[in-house]
């Protein structure tokens, strides 16, 4: 049984964990002291050595990303933290920033120092007011304590950190859309190349990292690359936050080494809610192809999940039991992608519009088996044809649900409607409090 | 190696597309490399002059580089070719073909089936590519998106959002090319749509280009909507008559009537753009005021229709053996101006000829004779410039394509622009120009203070610089001392050509100085005449003064509005015989003794020279017109007078101009004039400045209300200091007056000298000459109205 | 509504946070919402003026993001998550019941202007499903009854406190000011983390 390894969440049960005092009590802001004593390149090397990979979904090696920033180019560099957590099922960065914003701030300072940035931004989604408050307070405390601003810790390093609050757009989680948004434009993805490492924010070299990735950095600096390497699997090193939600007895956050399985996590979470069985689940948010019972023992690391035909994504495990209609679930996700499509490219804009109409018909039991093939053919004209990965995400639940649950779609068509009782899948059905 | 050579030596890349090898300059996009092979990849958002968007995804192709294939099809409009690249388009890749068919199906699911009533039908990229790359039948069974339609985003452009494929060509054009981001993509996802901010319509001087580049019928011109089908139109390549930018154009005519005009393509000049005046101001041709037949003033004092022989005889009687001046106007073609030039010298034995129907000076005459003709600056020099200096010149208003060219470099590489002007115009602000604020009259001193120019700098001198004493001299001195390239950019299309063919007192055709006996002999020989007049001729102002004082007996007048010259001009003509060659009834025809109707540009062939001196030849767009070019009428008249000029047709005239060698003898020397200065003012007095806005009361804009609807309204621009003294806030009415009259318009407070006031020269409610009797440099009184 | 000198000065201070002024467009729109409750024409014009942009460019941005409202919302803007997981867990039932209870549809506002309703997408609190947001504060593990109590309280001027948030629910405008980057000093209120957030930690502590 894989043991849980709370690092980021280690002190979330303390009433003042979000304050600078609470953070310092457990060694907060000692990592910057160490990092500022190192050459920036040595910090990059340390993070490379740790094997830390991006926790925002793509899993790109963080140190390598930092290493792409051209040095000595005489240009401003920027660090931008992607705190626009909006992928359905994903709920790790928001509690992290609420309970311990300082670990993110400290990570920002170290990362900015490493890439020689004197300006950093945290782009946080706008729909989480209290998280915004906590970040504002943490940044202001860090300035007051001399961790930010001019001549940090007397080491001659300057850093300004600005909190930028979004305003409701899932697409801004896509790093180039985020940069356009931060520059004051509509959050639509940019052409690549140039990549952000060469021409990112204000056309300057820019690193965009996920909250959890940056928040992991202080622990690596404090404990060393080997410590981090000691956790996880061959190519997926370290600990990470797994978020369990849905029809489990006790949903929540579980910090564990990469490679833990759903079976193990379910054990920690008290299993599927009483009297029910697992039907399908997402390994890393709604954009990752759904898994079933068959994947209970799939190692939840980048390689393991990919080998099983999905993606680790954000480790957002949304668990659904047998009361859930898969067509309804997929329709709702498709409506989400339609709502969040930025509109820039044809396949995503028009495709999600069309898919929603088809799925509504299918859920209502209208159509024939041929419509399922048509649906797959249309998805084939959308996935891999769009400007960014949003439409690929929209295709995932459709393709994977048809792979695993084609029969259930047919059931809708055969009986002219949805065979499920939506009330049965609500939490109130268990709690009996309707 | 010079910087120019460095620019030329571009690395060449070879790649393979559909099995064919093609070699193109590094940086060429795959879609463009394919074009070079004649392989047409379907596309909507792609446009060679706009930055790539990759939005429509119609141009997906399969690509591999050095054996490594991209996992999915790529947008060929966003990817530059690379060595070792193998591209498979829809012609050789089933994946690309299916991808393109899939995109086309998606583009059509929400597109209305209104092609039969859509202006674009018949020339629509969506229609055409749906035929070439689409499915026979749609599988879409859902509900189509609908919007309220059409929405007037300005008085001249209409938007049908449900036809829009959201390619963002229009929004990119407005932002990147015109610098007028007044239309944007709004909302998002399936509801994304082109729109304006409710209170600020799409009033860009260049808005018509968006209609032209829209790949569907989403943007249409209000004046053309539902008027015609493309296949009923006869198209003729033409040149724009509105300014000296030199746009290539296309004129589309149905049954003898111009229905629309489009920007033509000329990479060296207007690329693929034009301004809204060039596109939409053509209704003057079909005005009710057009003159249908010759007119002769009878003994009753009224004009009466006359036959051509009758009218020519009356005209000849008024001119033969008389002392005559010739006012050509600034809109004549090269051939017509040549006709006036030769007619004056041969049939009238005079050098009293001038094409300047505007404020002018002797200093300018010298500048034009000695300097302007020899200038070689071109658009390409702007592309290469390290700095552009604007003197008495507002490019957005006075030569809009010059503006686009400068703006392109400002956007691309932050080309520094310096402008000597009363205030920073909207165009100047878009160019991020550094303003050297000047009080009209002080230009020479300000110009003398300009430094840090190099041989790559370009000084663009507008015709208005002649209004300030010593300013042209200062401009020339600046160019001489720095090696900067100098250009003279007149506002009207005909001035540069008229100068070339000697429609001015000091020069004969080809730059031959009137004062040079050898030049006269040379030309006389070519013309087959014994001699040419030797006396130094008069300028426009001098001709008018001589007419008034009866030192001249008659004046021949081409297309001239006397109020463009001075408040007195018309009155000065009352005591002489006036022969008017005009297209429409005007202030001049009202007092003329004989009126001879001439052809408008669309009805004739001819040539303009743009400001660079580049020939812009055009054909008759309306083939069955009975009107005749000025030169042909002048030739008939010369015959009637008995001093033939032998210019029976435009073509014959063009041949004769061609056959005249350029003068390679001595040229006249420039006679510099020392600096003038602005008058001193105090209290409510101010020094007047003005220029003509692109869209104003100009007669060639007559009859096009939709265009006029987008004209910038008149303001009186004053400094913060003056506003405070007057107790005037932005938008409050102020009155500017002289002894002659006044203008009352809203105040606009802007950065300028406290002693200046600026108004538009010829806009609704603000006509400098008519209302104030002056255009610049004069003392006016400014009070709160 | 014209903006006061103080308000214009606040706009300047927001702009000053950024290396390039245009970046301030989003906080400025939040700020306009904190003053007017929604994105007004005056707000768009003022931002355009401040940032030297065309009004169309500001409109293009304000209409892209769903938090910017083109019409006034309620003093308490209630968002019910109906993305898949919350919907399945009870969000759909809550939405239906509350919509009927208030007599308003998606994006509707009660006639008293107190409460507006919106179906919202995933708000990153799936382990607390079903989730409801009021003025973008968390109301976790909701039921039909708890949300009826929330909106009734809001209409009576006495809404219950957020689950993870300040001790009292602030108004739409007040919270918009926080999003504009104008702190209200309430960061110290509320829990560090809710129970599900601490579950793994607690199990781990129990094990060690």
Give the three-class secondary structure for A64.
helix
> For residue B190, what is the nearest residue in chain A, using CA coordinates?
A349
pLDDT, tens digit (0-9, with 9 covering 90-100), for B88-140 = 999 999 999 999 999 999 999 999 999 999 999 999 999 999 998 898 888 99
Sort out which chain C residues have CB atoms less than 8 A from A181's CB and list them. Answer: 26
- C133 has a chain A CB within 8 A of its CB: yes
Angle at CA of residue B283, ends B279 and B286, nearest 5°: 145
Q: Which of B58, B102, B189 lies at the smallest CB-CB distance from A342?
A: B189
Q: What is the structure's pLDDT at A431?
A: 53
Q: What is the structure's pLDDT at C76?
A: 98
Average pLDDT estimate for B147-168: 97
* A162-201 as b/e: b if 16+ CB within 10 A: bbbbbbbbbbbbbbbbbbbbbbbbbbbbbbeeeebbbbbb
pLDDT at B3 over 70: no
Q: What is the structure's pLDDT at A433?
A: 40
Q: What is the structure's pLDDT at B536?
A: 87
The set of chains that have 3 or more CB pairs under 8 A with C is: A, B
Smallest Cα–Cα separation from B251: which of B205, B273, B216, B282? B282
Q: Which residues pair with A159 in a beta bridge?
A: A149
- A329 has a chain C CB within 8 A of its CB: yes
User: Per-residue confidence at B10, pLDDT binned at 50, 70, 90?
Assistant: confident
Whole-prediction pTM: 0.96
Q: Are C163 and A128 in contact (CB under 8 A)?
A: no
For domain C76-171, the question of CATH label 3.30.200.20 is answered with no
Sort out which chain C residues have CB atoms less than 8 A from A132's CB and list them. Answer: 178-179
pLDDT, tens digit (0-9, with 9 covering 90-100), for B429-444 = 999 999 999 999 999 9
Size of interface A-B (CB pairs under 8 A): 102
pLDDT at C102 over 90: yes
- The distance of Cα B259 from the centroid of its chain, to the nearest Å, equals 20
Element (H, E) at B561: none
Smallest Cα–Cα separation from B102: which of A343, A384, A190, A403? A384
Q: State phi, psi for B51 to the nearest 5 degrees.
A: -65, 145
- A174 has a chain C CB within 8 A of its CB: no
C-alpha span between A210 and A81 (Å, rounded): 6
Average pLDDT estimate for C199-205: 96
Size of interface B-C (CB pairs under 8 A): 39
Q: Are A121 and A208 in contact (CB under 8 A)?
A: no
> For residue A358, what is the nearest residue in chain B, using CA coordinates?
B142
Q: Are A300 and A260 in contact (CB under 8 A)?
A: yes
Question: Is the Cβ pair B197, C63 closer than 8 Å?
Answer: no
Residues of chain C with CATH 3.40.30.10: 76-171
C-alpha span between B512 and B668 (Å, rounded): 9
Q: What is the 3-state secondary structure (H, E, C) of B676-739?
A: CCCCCCCCCEEEEEEECCCCCCCHHHCCCHHHHCCCCCCCEEECHHHHHHHCCCCCCEEEEECC
* Tally of CB atoms within 10 A around B689: 30
- Which tokens belong to A131? 């998280």
Torsion angle defined by CA atoms of residues B488, B491, B497 and B499, in that order, rounded to the nearest 10 degrees: -60
Q: What percent of chain B has pLDDT over 90?
A: 96
pLDDT at B6 over 60: no
- C9 has a chain B CB within 8 A of its CB: no
- Whether omega before A193 lies within 30 degrees of 0, making that bond cis, reads yes
pLDDT, tens digit (0-9, with 9 covering 90-100), for B207-241 = 999 999 999 999 999 999 999 999 999 999 999 99
Residues of chain C with CATH 1.10.10: 5-64
> For residue C61, what is the nearest residue in chain B, using CA coordinates?
B186
C-alpha span between A218 and A199 (Å, rounded): 27
User: Per-residue confidence at B266, pLDDT binned at 50, 70, 90?
Assistant: very high
pLDDT, tens digit (0-9, with 9 covering 90-100), for B520-561 = 999 999 999 999 999 989 999 999 999 999 999 999 999 999
C-alpha span between B677 and B445 (Å, rounded): 8
ipTM of the complex, rounded to two decimals: 0.98
Q: What is the structure's pLDDT at B25?
A: 97
The set of chains that have 3 or more CB pairs under 8 A with B is: A, C
Q: Are B388 and B382 in contact (CB under 8 A)?
A: yes
C-alpha span between B25 and B660 (Å, rounded): 41
* Tally of CB atoms within 10 A around B509: 23
Sort out which chain C residues have CB atoms less than 8 A from B188's CB and list them. Answer: 63-64
- The distance of Cα C107 from the centroid of its chain, to the nearest Å, equals 13
pLDDT, tens digit (0-9, with 9 covering 90-100), for B752-771 = 999 999 999 999 999 999 99
Give the closest-approach CA distance of B111 to chain A in angstroms: 11
Q: Which residues contact B147 (CB under 8 A, 6 or more apart)?
A: B160, B161, B162, B193
C-alpha span between B442 and A298 (Å, rounded): 83
Question: Is the Cβ pair A338, B143 closer than 8 Å?
Answer: no
Q: What residue spans of A100-231 are helical by DSSP H?
A: 101-115, 129-144, 175-182, 196-199, 211-223, 225-229
Q: What percent of chain B has pLDDT over 70?
A: 99
C-alpha span between B777 and B781 (Å, rounded): 13
Q: What is the 3-state secondary structure (H, E, C) of B600-636?
A: CHHHCCEEEECCCCCEEEECCCCCCCCCCCHHHHHHH
Q: Which residues pair with B345 in a beta bridge?
A: none
- Look up tokens 């649906």; give the residue: A375
Q: What is the structure's pLDDT at B137?
A: 87
pLDDT at A390 over 80: yes
Average pLDDT estimate for A223-237: 97
Question: Is the Cβ pair C201, A183 closer than 8 Å?
Answer: no
Give the three-class secondary structure for B771.
helix
- B135 has a chain A CB within 8 A of its CB: no
- Which tokens belong to B518? 């050898």
Give the three-class secondary structure for A364.
coil
Q: Which residues contact C103 (CB under 8 A, 6 or more apart)?
A: C110
Average pLDDT estimate for A350-357: 98
> What is the layout of strands, in order, in the sheet containing B234-239?
B234-239, B248-254, B257-263
Average pLDDT estimate for B654-673: 93
- Which tokens belong to A388? 């960014």
Give the closest-approach CA distance of B192 to chain C in angstroms: 9
C-alpha span between B678 and B688 (Å, rounded): 10
pLDDT at C46 over 80: yes
Q: Which residues pair with B746 in a beta bridge?
A: B733
Average pLDDT estimate for A113-138: 98
Size of interface A-C (CB pairs under 8 A): 280
C-alpha span between C163 and A158 (Å, rounded): 38
CATH of domain C5-64: 1.10.10
Q: Are A77 and A110 in contact (CB under 8 A)?
A: no
C-alpha span between B614 and A335 (Å, rounded): 58
Q: Are A306 and A299 in contact (CB under 8 A)?
A: no
Q: Which residues contact B446 (CB under 8 A, 6 or more apart)?
A: B420, B436, B438
Average pLDDT estimate for C173-197: 98
Smallest Cα–Cα separation from A330: which of A413, A393, A249, A240? A393
- The distance of Cα B514 from the centroid of its chain, to the nearest Å, equals 31
Q: Are B675 and B469 in contact (CB under 8 A)?
A: yes
Give the closest-approach CA distance of B397 to chain C in angstroms: 20
Give the closest-approach CA distance of B153 to chain A in angstroms: 21
C-alpha span between C9 and C42 (Å, rounded): 16
pLDDT at A430 over 90: no
pLDDT, tens digit (0-9, with 9 covering 90-100), for B303-313 = 999 999 999 99
pLDDT at A249 over 60: yes
Smallest Cα–Cα separation from B608: which of B619, B617, B621, B600? B617
């Amino acid at each position: 049984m894989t043991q849980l390894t709370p690092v980021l969440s280690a002190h979330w049960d303390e009433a003042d964990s979000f304050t600078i005092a609470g953070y310092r009590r457990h060694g907060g802001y000692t990592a910057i002291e160490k990092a500022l004593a190192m050459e920036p390149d040595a910090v990059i090397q340390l993070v490379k050595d740790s094997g830390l990979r991006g926790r925002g979904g793509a899993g790109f090696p963080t140190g390598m990303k930092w290493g792409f920033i051209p040095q000595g180019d005489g240009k401003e560099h920027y660090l931008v933290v992607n705190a626009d957590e909006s992928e359905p099922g994903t709920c790790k960065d928001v509690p992290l920033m609420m309970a311990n914003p300082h670990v993110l701030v400290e990570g920002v300072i170290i990362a900015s120092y490493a890439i020689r940035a004197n300006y950093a931004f945290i782009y946080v989604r706008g729909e989480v007011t209290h998280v915004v408050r906590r970040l504002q307070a943490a940044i202001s405390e860090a300035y007051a304590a001399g961790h930010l601003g001019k001549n940090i810790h007397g080491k001659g390093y300057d850093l300004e950190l600005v909190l930028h609050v979004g305003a409701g757009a899932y697409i801004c989680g896509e790093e180039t859309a985020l940069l356009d948004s931060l520059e004051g434009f509509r959050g639509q993805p940019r052409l690549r190349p140039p990549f952000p490492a060469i021409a990112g924010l204000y056309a300057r070299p820019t690193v965009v990292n996920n909250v959890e990735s940056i928040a992991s950095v202080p622990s690596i600096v404090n404990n060393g690359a080997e410590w981090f390497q000691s956790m996880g699997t061959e190519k997926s090193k370290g600990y990470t936050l797994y978020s369990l939600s849905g029809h489990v007895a006790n949903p929540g956050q579980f910090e564990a080494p990469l490679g833990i399985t759903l079976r193990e996590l379910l054990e920690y979470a008290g299993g599927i809610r009483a009297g029910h069985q697992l039907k399908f689940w997402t390994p890393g948010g709604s954009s990752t192809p759904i898994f079933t019972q068959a994947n209970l023992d799939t190692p939840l690391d980048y390689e393991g999940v990919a080998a099983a035909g999905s993606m680790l994504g954000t480790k957002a495990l949304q668990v659904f039991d047998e009361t859930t209609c898969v067509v309804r679930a997929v329709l709702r996700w498709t409506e989400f992608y339609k709502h969040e499509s930025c509109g820039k490219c044809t396949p995503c804009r028009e495709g999600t519009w069309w898919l929603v109409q088809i799925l509504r018909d299918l859920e209502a039991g209208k159509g024939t088996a041929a419509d399922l093939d048509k649906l797959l053919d249309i998805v084939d004209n959308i996935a891999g044809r769009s400007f960014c990965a949003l439409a690929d995400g929209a295709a995932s639940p459709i393709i994977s649900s048809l792979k695993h649950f084609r029969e259930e779609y047919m059931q809708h068509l055969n009986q002219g409607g949805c065979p499920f009782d939506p009330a049965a899948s609500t939490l109130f059905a268990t709690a009996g409090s309707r | 190696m010079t910087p120019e050579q460095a620019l030329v030596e571009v690395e060449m890349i070879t790649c393979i597309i559909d099995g064919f090898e093609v070699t193109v300059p590094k940086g060429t996009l795959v879609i463009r490399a394919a074009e070079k092979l004649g392989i047409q990849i379907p596309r909507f958002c792609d446009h060679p002059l706009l930055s790539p968007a990759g939005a429509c995804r119609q141009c997906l192709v399969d690509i591999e580089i050095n054996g490594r294939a991209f996992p999915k099809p790529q947008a060929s409009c966003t990817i530059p070719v690379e060595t070792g690249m193998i591209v498979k388009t829809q012609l050789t890749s089933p994946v690309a073909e299916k991808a393109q068919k899939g995109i086309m199906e998606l583009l059509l699911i929400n597109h209305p089936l209104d092609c039969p009533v859509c202006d674009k039908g018949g020339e629509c990229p969506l229609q055409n590519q749906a035929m070439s790359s689409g499915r026979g039948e749609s599988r879409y069974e859902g509900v189509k998106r609908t919007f309220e339609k059409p929405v007037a985003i300005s008085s001249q452009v209409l938007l049908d959002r449900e036809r829009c494929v959201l390619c963002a060509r229009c929004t990119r054009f407005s932002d990147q090319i015109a610098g007028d981001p007044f239309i944007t993509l709004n909302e998002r996802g399936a509801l994304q749509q082109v729109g304006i901010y409710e209170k600020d319509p799409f009033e860009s001087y260049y808005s018509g280009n968006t209609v032209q580049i829209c790949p569907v019928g989403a943007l249409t011109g209000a004046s053309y909507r539902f008027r015609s089908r493309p296949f009923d139109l006869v198209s003729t390549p033409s040149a724009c008559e509105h300014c000296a930018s030199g746009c290539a154009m296309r004129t589309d005519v149905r049954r003898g009537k111009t229905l629309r005009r489009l920007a033509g393509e000329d990479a060296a000049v207007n690329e693929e753009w034009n301004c809204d005046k060039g596109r939409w101001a053509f209704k003057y041709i079909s005005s009710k005021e057009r003159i249908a037949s010759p007119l002769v003033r009878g003994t009753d004092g009224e004009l009466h229709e006359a036959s051509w022989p009758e009218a020519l005889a009356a005209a000849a009687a008024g001119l033969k053996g008389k002392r005559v001046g010739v006012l050509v106007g600034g809109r004549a073609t090269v051939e017509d101006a040549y006709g006036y030039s030769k007619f004056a010298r041969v049939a009238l034995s005079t050098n009293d000829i001038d094409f300047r129907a505007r404020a002018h000076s002797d200093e300018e005459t010298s500048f034009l004779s000695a300097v302007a003709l020899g200038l070689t600056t071109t658009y390409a020099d702007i592309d290469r410039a390290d700095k552009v200096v604007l003197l008495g010149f507002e490019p957005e208003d006075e030569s809009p394509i010059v503006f686009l060219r400068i703006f392109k470099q400002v956007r691309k590489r932050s080309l520094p622009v310096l402008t000597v002007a009363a205030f920073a115009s909207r165009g100047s602000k878009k160019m991020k120009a550094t303003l050297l604020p000047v009080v009209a009259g002080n230009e020479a001193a300000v110009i003398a203070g300009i430094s840090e120019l190099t041989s790559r700098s370009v000084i663009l001198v507008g015709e208005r610089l002649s209004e300030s004493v010593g300013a042209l001299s200062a401009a020339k001195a600046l160019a001489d001392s720095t090696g900067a390239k100098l250009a003279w950019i007149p506002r009207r299309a005909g001035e540069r050509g008229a100068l070339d063919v000697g429609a001015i007192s000091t020069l004969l055709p080809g730059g031959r100085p009137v004062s040079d006996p050898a030049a006269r002999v040379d030309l006389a020989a070519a013309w087959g005449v014994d001699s040419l007049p030797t006396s130094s001729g008069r300028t426009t102002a001098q001709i008018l003064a001589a007419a008034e004082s009866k030192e001249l007996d008659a004046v021949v007048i081409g297309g001239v509005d006397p109020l463009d010259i001075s408040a007195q001009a018309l009155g000065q003509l009352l005591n002489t015989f006036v022969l008017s060659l005009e297209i429409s009834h005007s202030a001049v025809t009202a007092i003329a003794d004989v009126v001879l109707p001439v052809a408008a540009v669309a009805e004739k062939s001819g040539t303009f020279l743009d400001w660079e001196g580049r020939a812009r030849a055009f054909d008759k767009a309306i083939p069955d017109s009975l009107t005749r070019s000025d030169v042909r009428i002048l030739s008939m008249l010369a015959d009637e007078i008995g001093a033939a000029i032998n210019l029976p047709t435009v073509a014959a005239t063009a041949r004769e101009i061609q056959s005249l060698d350029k003068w390679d003898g001595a040229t006249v020397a420039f006679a510099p004039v020392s600096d003038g200065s602005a008058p001193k003012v105090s209290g409510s007095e101010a020094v007047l400045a003005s220029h003509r806005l692109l869209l104003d009361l100009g007669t060639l804009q007559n009859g096009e209300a939709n265009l006029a609807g987008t004209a910038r309204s008149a303001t009186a621009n004053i400094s913060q200091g003056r506003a405070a003294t007057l107790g005037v806030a932005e938008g409050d009415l102020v009155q500017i007056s002289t002894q002659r009259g006044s203008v009352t318009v809203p105040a606009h407070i802007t950065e300028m000298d406290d002693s200046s006031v600026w108004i538009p020269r010829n806009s609704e409610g603000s006509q400098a000459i008519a209302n104030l009797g002056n255009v610049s440099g004069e003392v006016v009184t400014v009070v709160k109205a | 509504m014209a903006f006061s000198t103080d308000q214009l000065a606040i706009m300047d201070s927001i702009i000053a946070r950024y290396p390039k002024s245009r970046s301030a467009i989003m906080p400025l729109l939040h700020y306009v919402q904190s003053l007017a409750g929604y994105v007004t024409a005056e707000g768009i014009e003022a931002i355009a003026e401040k940032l030297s942009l065309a009004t169309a460019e500001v409109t293009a941005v304000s209409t892209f993001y769903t938090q910017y409202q083109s019409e006034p919302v309620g003093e308490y803007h209630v968002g019910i998550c109906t993305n898949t997981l919350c919907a399945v867990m009870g969000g759909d039932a809550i939405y239906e019941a509350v919509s009927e209870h208030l007599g308003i549809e998606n994006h509707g506002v009660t006639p008293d202007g107190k409460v507006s309703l919106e179906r919202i997408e995933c708000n990153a609190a799936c382990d607390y499903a079903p989730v409801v947001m009021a003025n973008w504060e968390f109301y976790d593990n909701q039921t039909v009854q708890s949300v009826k109590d929330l909106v009734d309280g809001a209409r009576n001027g006495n809404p219950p406190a957020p689950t993870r948030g300040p001790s009292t629910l602030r108004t739409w405008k007040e919270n918009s000011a926080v999003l504009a980057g104008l702190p209200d000093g309430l960061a110290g209120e509320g829990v560090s983390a809710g129970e599900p957030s601490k579950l793994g930690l607690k199990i781990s502590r129990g094990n060690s």
